[in-house]
Amino acid sequence: MEKKEAPKKPEWLKVTYDQKKVDQMNDLLSGLKLNTVCAEANCPNLGECFGNGTASFIILGPNCTRACRFCDIPHGHPQPVDLLEPYRVAEATKRLGLSHVVVTSVDRDDLPDLGADQFVKTINLIRKMNPDTTIEVLTPDFQGRENCLDKVIAAKPDVFNHNMETVRSITPKVRHRATYDTSLKVLKYVKDHAPKSTFVKTGIMLGLGETDEEVYQLMDDLRAIDVDFLTIGQYVQPGPKNYRLREWVPMKRYATYYKEARKRGFRFVASSPLVRSSYKAKEELEAVYGK
């Protein structure tokens, strides 16, 4: 067997893995032919979330029409839209007994509606089959097109999430066909047009080389348009071809960013290395509802 130096990943990257629960979850999902962002993006929290019976479903995949350099989702020729997929997500939500479900998608720049209709169908069917489940969508930027955003807004998800991913200066280096200003515009449009009961959320990764000032500027930009929730987590480079990891950001900085974000008025902030956009999303909504 080949020898290599001992792992150098930081201590907090240690996660426990419950094989039985992950097997159970995979069995359920494979039976329904669904993709989870957990598995597709190789998420570090997969073991914990699957262990707790939580998953984030990724629709319209598995291939993405964009090739962002931080991302582990396969870039490739898109598949035809699966008309039964919304039903299967709703059925999986039911079988798992989820009280909060997250639905995200790959980018579908090839489709006339950029994938908005599939989000709407999925939201509607989840709600029909699971009337007590709260629904969070994590959407692409829909190229900033208001008619696509209107459709998803009208389906009234409880949380509308669209990720900024990183600060302004790094955005063109890591995102493909997406801009800082388009993402801000998306969040502003949703905030201005969605019902007051819809929370607007975004998330960023740290460790790409951003400075404190840039992170605070991002927070200010988000609060200027009244974004409600912010998630901050560590970028983990998926493979050698992806954007190079610049830094394992120390825990202290996450605490500082948490305080700064709260001070600026975000209603909920999750700031910790293993935080991902949908990690503990249910707890976040409960905190705001005061349950």
Partner 1 sequence: MLKEIHMPKLSPKSDQYFFGEWHKQPGDAVKEGDVLFEVETDKVISQVESQEDGVLKEQNVNTGDTTNVGDLVATIEVA
**Residues in the annotated binding site:** 38, 43, 49, 64, 68, 71, 278
In angstroms, rounded to a whole number, what is the distance separating the alpha carbons of residues 61 and 115?
A: 10
Position among 13, 84, 224, 288 found at the interface with partner 1 (CB under 8 A): 13
Of 82-90, 91-99, 105-113, 234-242, the window that binds partner 1 (rule: CB under 8 A) is: 234-242
Q: Is 244 in the site for partner 1 (CB under 8 A)?
A: no
Per-residue x/- track, 59-98, partner 1 (CB under 8 A) = -------------x--------------------------
Q: Is 51 in the site for partner 1 (CB under 8 A)?
A: no
For partner 1, the closer of residues 133 and 234 by Cβ is: 234
Of 57-65, 200-208, 210-218, 233-241, the window that binds partner 1 (rule: CB under 8 A) is: 233-241
How far CA 235 is from CA of 135, 217, 246, 247, 250, in Å, comes to 26, 19, 9, 9, 12
**Min separation Cβ 78 and partner 1, Å:** 20
- Hey, is 129 helix, strand or coil? helix
φ, ψ at 282 (rounded to 5°): -65, -45
Q: Is 286 in the site for partner 1 (CB under 8 A)?
A: no
Q: Is 30 in the site for partner 1 (CB under 8 A)?
A: no
For partner 1, the closer of residues 2 and 213 by Cβ is: 2
CA distance from start to end of the chain: 53
Position among 52, 53, 238, 260 found at the interface with partner 1 (CB under 8 A): 238
Of 3-11, 169-177, 188-196, 212-220, the window that binds partner 1 (rule: CB under 8 A) is: 3-11
For partner 1, the closer of residues 67 and 225 by Cβ is: 67
Residue 46 half-sphere exposure toward CB, CA atoms < 13 A? 16
> Which helix H or strand E contains 216, and what residues bound it?
helix 212-224
In angstroms, rounded to a whole number, what is the distance separating the alpha carbons of residues 285 and 170?
A: 30
Burial of 177 by CB count in 10 Å (0-12 exposed, 13-18 middle, 19+ buried)? middle
Position among 39, 49, 120, 215 found at the interface with partner 1 (CB under 8 A): 39
Position among 25, 29, 37, 40 found at the interface with partner 1 (CB under 8 A): 40
Which positions ≥6 away from 37 have C-beta within 8 Å? Answer: 43, 56, 57, 58, 73, 104, 278
Q: Which residues pair with 36 in a beta bridge?
A: 57
Burial of 28 by CB count in 10 Å (0-12 exposed, 13-18 middle, 19+ buried)? middle
Q: Is 241 in the site for partner 1 (CB under 8 A)?
A: no
Q: Which residues would be at the binding site for partner 1 (CB under 8 A)?
A: 1-7, 9, 13-20, 39-40, 42-44, 46-47, 72, 236, 238-239
